[in-house]
Chain A
C-alpha cells in the first residue's frame, strides 16, 4: 500500500536559513514522488517531481529534493529561505501514476 508521512506539521526558519521539510514514503514498487506547495486560498502548485531518473531533483523557486531508496525518503530542501516561501507543502506518492496519495502537509513559517 502507498502512503506518505510528513514529519513536522509546522516548521519555522529564519529568513536566509536552510529549509528542510521531511517526507517518507511507503510503496511496493518504485514510486513516483512529488512535492506541491499551496498558498492560502489557492490550488496546489507542483514544485518538483521524481520519476525514476536522477535521484537529485531540482524544482522551481530554488527547491530541490533527493530520492533515497534505502531510507524511503524524499526530503525537500532550499539553501536560503525567503519570506515568499511561507506556505503549506505537501509530499505525494504514486505507484503507477494513477492514484496519488498525499501527506498531511507541513506549514512553513519564515521569520524575518
Chain B
C-alpha cells in the first residue's frame, strides 16, 4: 500500500490552456473523490466515482471541468480553457466502501497556478 499519489505536484499554466491531472488511488479502493482547496478554505467537493461510474458532480463544477476513471483504477481531472480563478490545490482521495466505513485517504494534491 503506497497511498494515494497525484501527478504532477505542481502545474503552472497560462490562462486559456488546458491542463490534466492524474490520481492513482490505493489499489483496492472502489471510490475516488476529487476536491479543490483554496487558501484558507477547506476542501470543496467536486465529484466522485464508484469504480468507473461517476456518481455525483458538484453543482458548482463548471462545464470546463471533466473527470474520468476509465477502468476503475486511476482517474484524470481535466480543466479546459483555464481561468485565474482555477488556481487552487486539487486533491484526490480514495476509500473502500464497506459497511459504514467511509474513511478517505488523501493524496498530496496538485497545486495549479494559472497566470
Contacts and interface: CB of A to CB of B under 8 A. Distances in A.
Asked if chains A and B come from one complex, the reply is yes
B100 A52 contact: yes
Given A97-B97, A98-B55, A46 B104 contact: yes
B40 A97 contact: no
A102 B97 contact: no
A90 B40 contact: no
A42 interface: yes
A3 B106 CA distance: 20
B42 A104 contact: yes
B42 A32 contact: no
B102 A104 contact: no
Contacts of B56: 98-99
Nearest to A41: B108
A83 B4 CA distance: 27
B4 A99 contact: no
Nearest to A100: B45
A44 B103 contact: no
A99 B49 CA distance: 11
Question: Interface extent on B, as a size class?
Answer: 20 to 34
Interface string A42-60: 1111100101100000000
Interface in A20-48: 32, 34, 36, 41-46
Nearest to A105: B42
Contacts of B108: 41-43
B100 to A, nearest CB: 4
A26 to B, nearest CB: 15
A97 B42 CA distance: 18
B91 A43 contact: yes
B101 interface: yes
Given A44-B43, A44-B91, A102-B43, A97 B48 contact: no
Contacts of A36: 106
B25 interface: no
Contacts of B109: 43
Nearest to B50: A98
Interface of B: 4, 33, 35, 40-45, 48, 55-56, 58, 91, 93, 97, 100-109
